[in-house]
Structure 1
Amino acid sequence: MTYEIILLGVAILVAVGILLHHPSKTLGIPSLLIFMGVGLGLGNGEFNFVYDNLALTSTVGAIALNIIVFVGGINTSTQSIKLAYKEGGMLATFGVLFTTVSLAALLHFILGWELITCLLFAAIVSSTDAAAVFSILESKKLKLKEQTDTVLEFESATNDPVALVMVTILTAIALAPTEVVSYSAISITLAQQIFVGIVFAYLIGKLAVYLLNHVKLEEYGLIPVFILASFIIAAYGSELLGGNILIASYVVGVVIGNGISRGGEVSKHFFNSLSWLAQSLMFIILGLQIFPQTLFNVFMVSLIPAALLMFVARPLAVQLCYLPFTQASWKKRMLISAIGLKGATPIVFALIPATAGVPGSIDIVHMVFFIVLFSILLQGAALEPLAKKFKLDQ
């Protein structure tokens, strides 16, 4: 297949997804489901076209996720971070760990899966999804009291790195189960990824801000292009140095978004459009990768981990994380417990062990798809009614 046909096909799929965006908002259906549905409907046997490339899907998904997190950073004000970093930071780190451990223990006890499989599966679905949270809050025009929406946004934008590190480490363990696990090495790796990711991205972001504020570019259109180049340097340079690419993407976005004095609005419009393109491509290619005829083989078994995640593991993790925050109302805790929105991120994470060849990982991808679907349909739909019930809507 020539690249012209590939580009034509991708452009048609994106255009169809965008045209369906408005009716999806009218019907209350998240746009990510529309884009994924377009991929599901057209990619696996229809029109004599079959797409099956785990490596390419994983690569495209990872790049798109980096862009989405970066744009989330650009749109995050330092004032929001000051309001939410304590609660959101606790949820983004210990919340992910608590969710992973509790869900893995439940799956091991109830379903009898191997412990490493339980841990890997739980780590994949442990984090909330930034694209899903931003999309649903925006589509419903929700502003929540007690900075609840700010906490949810901050958590979803910053919790992927911890989950990604755990998935990567557990994938390596699953591929070599006989090797002795070094917890000190895991701790050092995690600390290195966080430290290098933050420091390197912060320095690159500050340098980019200094240059943009002192070199007066006459053509405003060049500003977002320079910012895009700075993002790539910060994110992928950090990864080469041993840092976490998602942390770096978010940090450089925050630094640049809050630091530039010229071209801010132009840049935000540009990057919001880029984020939409990244989301649409990611959801479409994930839809193309998943074969509908194989999904039903794991539908029933997916119900158990989905229910345990939504009704036990997530609420338990949130309540544990909120123990130090005695000033937070029980209504706020209950709403955050109930809204652990999943999106394309867990599917992208599930592709890591699948691409590496972990036994049974294809079934995990399909199960994660259903968990994401249940989360969007149930938790996404419940956000507004629960906010009204707890009187947290503005």
Structure 2
Amino acid sequence: MTTEMVMIGISVLIVIGILLHHPSRTLGIPSLLIFMGVGLSLGNGEFNFVYDNLDQTAWIGGLALNVIVFVGGLNTSTDKIKVAYKEGGVLASFGVIFTTLIFAAILYGLLDFNLITCLLFAAIVSSTDAAAVFSILESKKLKLKEQTDTVLEFESATNDPVAMLMVIVLTDMTLASHQAVAISALSLHLASQILVAIVVGFLIGKLAVLLLNRISLAEFGLIPVFVLASFIIATYSAEMLGGNILLASYIAGVVIGNGIKRGQLVNLHFFNSLSWLAQALMFIVLGLQIFPQTLMNVFWISIIPGLLLILVARPLAVQLCYLPFVKASWKKRLFISMIGLKGATPIVFALIPAAAGVPGAIEIVHMVFFFVLMSVFIQGGAIAPLANKLGLEQKEQHKAE
């Protein structure tokens, strides 16, 4: 297939997804499911077209996640971070680890997988998804008491480094057929990834802000172009130096979004549009990669583990994380424990062992797909009713604003 046909085909799918976006919101269906459904229905043999490229799908998904996390950082104020970094930081690190361990134990008792594969599977679905959290909170216009929404946003934007490192290490362990790993080396590697990402993202973000504020570009349209180039430099420089690219994206976004003094409006519109494009492309390509005829093979065995992830593993992990935060209300703890939204991130992570040739990884990809659907419908649909039931929604403040 020619490049022209690929570009036209992808663009047509995006147009279809956008046209379906408004009626989907009326029905309460998240946009990510619409875009994924478009790809799922049109890329698996229909019109004599079959898309099946795990490496390319993983690359596109990673790039899109990078953009989405950066835009999330641009839209996050430092005031919110000062409030949320303690709770969000614990959830983004220990929460991922606890979820992995608890869910791996559940999978080991339910599925015919060895322990390392269960740990790998659990690590893949251990983190919350930034794209899903940002888009669903924004679409529902929710403002929650006790900075609950800010904690969820901070957690989802910063919990990928721990999950990604565990997925990569466990993938290597599975392929090497050994079950030993040096905890000290793993901890050092994770610490260096986080430190490099923070330093590089912060420094390049600060440099971009300094240059933009000093030069005062007369053409406002150049400001988002400059910011886009700075974002690419910051994130891929961090990755080259051994840092986590998603964390670097978030840090750079926060620094730039809170630092520039001119062109905020044009910058906001440009990057919100870019984020939508990234989401549309990512979900459509992920949909193209999934073959519907193979999904039914894992449908029934996915239901119980998926429910236990939502109702047992995530809540237990969150409650453990909140033990030091005695001032947090039980309502806030309950809400955060029940709203651990999954989205494209687990599917992208699942493609890592699949592309590497881990036995049974394709089955895991398909099961993760069902987990995402269950999370979006159950947890995504429960956000507004649960917040209202627990009295966490700031209705009066929202109206005043």
**Structure-1-length-normalised TM-score:** 0.98
Q: Which residue of 2 aligns with 1:46?
A: 46
Residue 298 of structure 1: SS of its match in structure 2?
Answer: helix
Give the alignment of 1:89-238 within 5 angstroms: 89-178=89-178, 180-238=180-238
Is it true that 1:255 corresponds to 2:255 in the alignment? Answer: yes
d(CA) in 1 for partners of 2:177 and 2:369? 26
Unmatched 5+ residue regions in structure 1?
Answer: none
Q: Which residue of 2 aligns with 1:384?
A: 384
Q: Which residue of 1 aligns with 2:365?
A: 365
Counterpart of 2:290 in structure 1: which amino acid?
Answer: I
d(CA) in 2 for partners of 1:216 and 1:157? 30
Q: Which residue of 1 aligns with 2:72?
A: 72
Q: Which residue of 1 aligns with 2:242?
A: 242
Residue 33 of structure 2: SS of its match in structure 1?
Answer: helix
Alpha-carbon offset, residue 55 of structure 1: 0.7
Deviations 1:167-206 (A, max 9, x none): 1111111111237422222111111101111111111111
Residue 76 of structure 2: SS of its match in structure 1?
Answer: coil
Counterpart of 1:105 in structure 2: which amino acid?
Answer: A
Q: Which one is further off, 233-242 or 303-312? A: 303-312
Q: Which residue of 2 aligns with 1:20?
A: 20
Alpha-carbon offset, residue 113 of structure 1: 2.1
Counterpart of 1:36 in structure 2: which amino acid?
Answer: M
Counterpart of 1:288 in structure 2: which amino acid?
Answer: L
Counterpart of 1:302 in structure 2: which amino acid?
Answer: S
Q: Which runs of 4+ in 1 moved over 3 A?
A: none
Counterpart of 1:146 in structure 2: which amino acid?
Answer: E
Counterpart of 1:357 in structure 2: which amino acid?
Answer: G
Q: Is the 8 A contact 2:331 2:390 kept in 1?
A: yes
Q: Which residue of 1 aligns with 2:393?
A: 393
d(CA) in 2 for partners of 1:333 and 1:128? 16
Identity of aligned residues (%): 72
Counterpart of 2:120 in structure 1: which amino acid?
Answer: L
d(CA) in 2 for partners of 1:109 and 1:297? 20
d(CA) in 2 for partners of 1:180 and 1:391? 47
Q: Is the 8 A contact 2:116 2:179 kept in 1?
A: no
Deviations 1:321-358 (A, max 9, x none): 11111111101111111111100110000000001111
Q: How many residues align?
A: 394
Q: Which residue of 2 aligns with 1:37?
A: 37
Q: Which residue of 1 aligns with 2:397?
A: none
Is it true that 1:87 corresponds to 2:87 in the alignment? Answer: yes
Residue 296 of structure 1: SS of its match in structure 2?
Answer: helix
Alpha-carbon offset, residue 105 of structure 1: 1.4
Counterpart of 1:107 in structure 2: which amino acid?
Answer: L
d(CA) in 1 for partners of 2:68 and 2:136? 15
d(CA) in 1 for partners of 2:392 and 2:182? 45
Alpha-carbon offset, residue 28 of structure 1: 0.3
d(CA) in 2 for partners of 1:4 and 1:373? 32
Q: Which one is further off, 180-189 or 164-173? A: 180-189
Alpha-carbon offset, residue 112 of structure 1: 4.7
Is it true that 1:265 corresponds to 2:265 in the alignment? Answer: yes
d(CA) in 2 for partners of 1:186 and 1:326? 30
Q: Which residue of 1 aligns with 2:339?
A: 339
d(CA) in 1 for partners of 2:311 and 2:112? 20
Counterpart of 1:134 in structure 2: which amino acid?
Answer: F
d(CA) in 1 for partners of 2:243 and 2:156? 19
Alpha-carbon offset, residue 154 of structure 1: 1.1
Residue 52 of structure 1: SS of its match in structure 2?
Answer: coil
Counterpart of 1:114 in structure 2: which amino acid?
Answer: N
**Structure-2-length-normalised TM-score:** 0.97
d(CA) in 2 for partners of 1:111 and 1:167? 19
d(CA) in 2 for partners of 1:366 and 1:303? 12
d(CA) in 2 for partners of 1:82 and 1:61? 30
d(CA) in 2 for partners of 1:140 and 1:8? 32
d(CA) in 2 for partners of 1:140 and 1:179? 44
Give the alignment of 1:284-295 within 5 angstroms: 284-295=284-295
Unmatched 5+ residue regions in structure 2?
Answer: 395-401
